[in-house]
């Protein structure tokens, strides 16, 4: 730690999207900033690195996207329909999928600052583009975007994180890799006076009056997963970084912070059954996910369906269906498609590293995937008989559902009868945890007596109270940069006052 100063105005713990947004904002607020990254440099960037870079923010129409993506040609304009996604729609989606539990003040802060902060990120060097491949369907020659998500960061999570690191370094912010925040130091008034680190040279203390905790949830900590999420979660596969082990939550609770939010809830998805268990693969990144299930059926090893694959747009169901898969025998499920939809399967279905089988009959498919053949044949026959003959349109909630089966398939129910059939074996992959620290709308961490802890700020995954039960796809990055910028700005103002 010899290269570090003894004192910084602001120490940011973590080096993902939330942390780097905080660090940049704090430096721009006039503070001398240190970033602590627990991971070695080659594994930097947290879960943010692993993302597809899909980002949810409100917009009224294409004109609101131009400041991000740059001007587009008239020909491209004529080919796209991005629709609109007003602030009220984002707020309503957040409230709808969380059962009305999202903290209204934090939710409003998230929604109201999302677009402007995305533009601020553009000014910091983050590049944006339209998310054609994952969020649009070509209908009558027009790319129709759906689900409130039209933009992605260019280069996905790697592009986002690399741009933020470039900016961090350009601004002269010190970054200590392989160095973790270990515990917080307070003075006799309870205010932050420093942080203890654990790094390549052992333990050290840095003096500071302001710390921003942005070091992720506890998704990569099997013990905490089991303790908070429940039995079986120790066996979920970790989709992203292996370094988010709940340290920031622990550190803050140790000095009296209030725990907040859905500690027994998390974001978890269908994830390739053969993917590594203890953390993501930085080359594959998010491509082990399997998100095209609304186009087909999901069954367990008995051949039984257990969720409504078409309950809503994928963005509003995928994050809660991982848990449903965890609850199936052997924590396994199979997504089954026929040739009618093969062309529409997302990019992640086309990588070599998938656990899949193709067959000309449902029975052969079942045998190839170790599903009970009688069970699968019966499920598909019952499902096909229940499909209603109304028009099909994957870009809207088309209401083309089933009648008389449980669970129903509420939208996009095409009969599964066009061989060859393809089945993909998936298990539960955990993305991030929902429970964490209580903050106010200025990013200050609140204690168990409902007072802010002087000098302590937090942002990103380790903040509780925003996501409960479920999550609108693309909100994790938004949550990180909105509250990261707010926390960094607040921390700098506090430290330099």
Ligand X SMILES: Cc1cc2nc3c(=O)[nH]c(=O)nc-3n(C[C@H](O)[C@H](O)[C@H](O)COP(=O)(O)OP(=O)(O)OC[C@H]3O[C@@H](n4cnc5c(N)ncnc54)[C@H](O)[C@@H]3O)c2cc1C
**Residues near ligand X, by CB under 6 A:** 13-19, 36-39, 45-48, 50-55, 180-181, 214-216, 239-241, 243-244, 247, 280, 286, 431-432, 460-461, 474-477, 480
We find the least distance from the C-beta atom of residue 118 to ligand X, in angstroms, to be 11
We find the least distance from the C-beta atom of residue 137 to ligand X, in angstroms, to be 18
Measured from the CB atom, the residue of 152 and 338 that comes closer to ligand X is 152
Q: Cβ of 476: how many Cβ atoms within 10 Å? A: 26
End-to-end Cα spacing for the chain: 28
What element of type H or E holds 293?
A: none
We find the least distance from the C-beta atom of residue 94 to ligand X, in angstroms, to be 13
Local structure of 373: helix, strand or coil: helix
* Residue 88 to residue 350: CA distance in whole angstroms: 36
Measured from the CB atom, the residue of 168 and 431 that comes closer to ligand X is 431
List of residues 6+ apart from 220 with CB closer than 8 A? 238, 240, 241, 242, 243, 244, 245, 278, 279
Measured from the CB atom, the residue of 54 and 428 that comes closer to ligand X is 54
We find the least distance from the C-beta atom of residue 143 to ligand X, in angstroms, to be 19
We find the least distance from the C-beta atom of residue 459 to ligand X, in angstroms, to be 7
Token pair listed for 70? 């740059």
Q: Cβ of 40: how many Cβ atoms within 10 Å? A: 12
We find the least distance from the C-beta atom of residue 36 to ligand X, in angstroms, to be 4
We find the least distance from the C-beta atom of residue 302 to ligand X, in angstroms, to be 29
* Residue 369 to residue 298: CA distance in whole angstroms: 13
* Contact between residue 467 and residue 260 where contact means Cβ atoms under 8 Å apart: no
Measured from the CB atom, the residue of 286 and 447 that comes closer to ligand X is 286
Measured from the CB atom, the residue of 195 and 369 that comes closer to ligand X is 195
> What is each CA distance from 442 to 135, 152, 484, in whole angstroms?
32, 26, 10
Measured from the CB atom, the residue of 269 and 365 that comes closer to ligand X is 269
Measured from the CB atom, the residue of 34 and 425 that comes closer to ligand X is 34
For 20-67, strand residue ranges (E) read 33-36, 54-55
The residue count of the chain comes to 497
We find the least distance from the C-beta atom of residue 17 to ligand X, in angstroms, to be 4
* Residue 71 to residue 303: CA distance in whole angstroms: 50
* Residue 409 to residue 81: CA distance in whole angstroms: 27
We find the least distance from the C-beta atom of residue 156 to ligand X, in angstroms, to be 7
Beta strands 421-433 and 436-437 are unpaired
Measured from the CB atom, the residue of 51 and 124 that comes closer to ligand X is 51
Measured from the CB atom, the residue of 241 and 379 that comes closer to ligand X is 241
Measured from the CB atom, the residue of 280 and 401 that comes closer to ligand X is 280
Beta strands 174-176 and 33-36 are parallel
Token pair listed for 337? 């498609």
We find the least distance from the C-beta atom of residue 240 to ligand X, in angstroms, to be 3
We find the least distance from the C-beta atom of residue 195 to ligand X, in angstroms, to be 9
Measured from the CB atom, the residue of 45 and 423 that comes closer to ligand X is 45
Token pair listed for 292? 């095209």
Q: Which of 411, 231, 430 lies closest to 321, judged by CA?
A: 430
Q: Print burial letters for 410-426: b (CB count within 10 Å at least 16), e (below 16).
A: bbbbbebeeeebbbbbb
Q: What share of the chain is helix, strand, coil (3-state, %, to 5)?
A: 35, 25, 40
* Residue 126 to residue 68: CA distance in whole angstroms: 9
We find the least distance from the C-beta atom of residue 176 to ligand X, in angstroms, to be 9
Measured from the CB atom, the residue of 111 and 215 that comes closer to ligand X is 215
Q: Print burial letters for 354-386: b (CB count within 10 Å at least 16), e (below 16).
A: bbbbebeebebbbeebebbbebbbebbeebeeb
Measured from the CB atom, the residue of 14 and 322 that comes closer to ligand X is 14
Helix extents (H) in 33-149: 46-50, 62-69, 74-79, 87-97, 104-123, 132-135
We find the least distance from the C-beta atom of residue 73 to ligand X, in angstroms, to be 27
């Amino acid at each position: 730690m010899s290269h570090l100063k003894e004192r910084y105005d602001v120490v940011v713990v973590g080096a993902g999207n939330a942390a780097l947004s905080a660090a940049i904002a704090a430096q721009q607020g006039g503070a001398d900033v240190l970033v602590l990254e627990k991971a070695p440099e080659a594994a930097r960037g947290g879960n943010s690195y692993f993302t597809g870079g899909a980002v949810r923010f409100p917009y009224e129409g294409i004109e609101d996207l131009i400041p991000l993506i740059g001007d587009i040609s008239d020909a491209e304009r004529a080919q796209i329909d991005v629709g609109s996604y007003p602030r009220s729609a984002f707020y309503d989606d957040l409230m709808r999928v969380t059962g009305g539990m999202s903290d209204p003040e934090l939710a409003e802060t998230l929604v109201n600052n999302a677009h402007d902060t995305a533009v601020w990120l553009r000014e910091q060097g983050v590049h944006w583009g339209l998310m054609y491949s994952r969020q649009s369907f070509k209908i009558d020659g027009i790319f129709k975007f759906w689900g409130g998500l039209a933009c992605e960061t260019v280069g996905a999570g790697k592009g986002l994180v690399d741009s933020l690191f470039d900016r961090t370094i350009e601004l002269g912010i010190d970054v200590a890799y392989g160095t973790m925040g270990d515990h917080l130091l307070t003075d006799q008034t309870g205010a932050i006076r420093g942080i203890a680190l654990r790094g390549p040279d052992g333990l050290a203390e840095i003096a500071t009056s302001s710390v921003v905790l942005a070091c992720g949830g506890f998704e990569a900590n099997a013990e905490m997963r089991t303790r908070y999420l429940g039995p079986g979660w120790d066996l979920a596969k970790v989709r992203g970084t292996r370094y988010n082990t709940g340290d920031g939550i622990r550190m803050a609770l140790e000095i009296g912070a209030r725990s907040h939010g859905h500690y027994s809830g998390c974001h978890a998805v269908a994830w390739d059954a053969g993917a590594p268990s203890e953390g993501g693969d930085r080359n594959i990144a998010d491509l082990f996910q399997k998100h095209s299930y609304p186009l087909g059926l999901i069954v367990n090893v008995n051949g039984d369906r257990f969720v409504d694959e078409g309950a809503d747009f994928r963005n509003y169901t995928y994050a809660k269906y991982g848990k449903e898969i965890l609850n199936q025998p052997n924590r396994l499920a199979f997504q089954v498609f026929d040739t009618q939809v093969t062309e529409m399967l997302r990019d992640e279905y086309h990588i070599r590293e998938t656990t899949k089988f193709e067959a000309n009959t449902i029975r052969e498919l079942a045998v190839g995937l170790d599903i009970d053949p009688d069970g699968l044949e019966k499920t598909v026959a019952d499902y096909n008989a229940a499909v209603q003959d109304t028009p099909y349109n994957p870009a809207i909630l088309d209401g083309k559902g089933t009648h008389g089966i449980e669970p129903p398939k509420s939208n996009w129910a095409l009969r599964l009868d066009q061989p060859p059939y393809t089945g993909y074996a998936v298990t539960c992959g955990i993305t991030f945890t929902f429970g964490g620290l209580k903050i106010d709308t200025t990013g200050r961490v609140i204690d168990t007596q409902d007072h802010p802890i002087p000098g302590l700020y937090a942002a990103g995954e380790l903040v509780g109270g925003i996501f409960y039960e479920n999550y609108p796809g693309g909100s994790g990055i938004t949550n990180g940069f909105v509250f990261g910028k707010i926390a960094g700005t607040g921390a700098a103002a506090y430290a330099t006052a």
